[in-house]
A and B are shown apart, each in its own frame.
Chain A
Amino acid sequence: GAVVSQHPSRVICKSGTSVKIECRSLDFQATTMFWYRQFPKQSLMLMATSNEGSKATYEQGVEKDKFLINHASLTLSTLTVTSAHPEDSSFYICSATLSGASARMQFFGPGTRLTVL
């Protein structure tokens, strides 16, 4: 149980284009999803917290107009990197939590490796 998928797993795009990454909880309803970014040899950096049906909460320094997050249902959250640039190249990972007491645990998707040329 508690499986989270991400799509695509890898994407290469040209500078200036937009890229959408999907995060799905396959066998549970996720009240909260988190989006992280990880650069090589660094730890996870939380970008935003996404609750179903409400606006995402962005961490300090993360541009909400550049990283658009939509959490339209309890099983799907999307991250759109708008007008991507080479410095946005990174490993993007989502996680999802269950509701109630189990909300303490985060289950991670496999990640999306974005390369912007």
Chain B
Amino acid sequence: QKEVEQNSGPLSVPEGAIASLNCTYSDRGSQSFFWYRQYSGKSPELIMFIYSNGDKEDGRFTAQLNKASQYVSLLIRDSQPSDSATYLCAVLKSNYQLIWGAGTKLIIKP
């Protein structure tokens, strides 16, 4: 079992709809979780981070964390074509290294 798992996609969502990206992790002791966006040929860009159970909202983005079920998700409301990218889920280890999921490719269709 991989430490951080994501569906590789592609996930295709109509413009204006809600895109839902999911991630599960294996280490129950994990405390910090991150969502990065990566455009093709570019480096990752931090979108959201979440440390506590529940929802965290920032603009069109909402991160959701459920430690009991060991999953973290990212919702993108009012999806735009510019949101088309690969979304990487990352979980922080105690030595500050990140464990990365393989990424979900999101395609927003105009």
Contacts and interface: CB of A to CB of B under 8 A. Distances in A.
Contact of B96 (A42, A103, A107): A103
A87 to B, nearest CB: 20
A60 B67 CA distance: 29
B46 interface: yes
Contacts of A49: 95-97
A108 B88 CA distance: 13
Interface residues of B, number: 21
A114 interface: no
Contact of B88 (A43, A46, A91, A109): A43
Contacts, number: 45
B43 A97 contact: no
Interface in A34-65: 34, 42-44, 46, 49
A32 interface: yes
A8 interface: no
Interface of A: 32, 34, 42-44, 46, 49, 91, 93, 97, 103-111, 113
Contacts of A111: 42-43
A110 B96 contact: no
Nearest to A57: B95
Contact of A104 (B41, B44, B92, B103): B92
Contact of B43 (A43, A103, A105, A108): A108
A89 B97 CA distance: 24
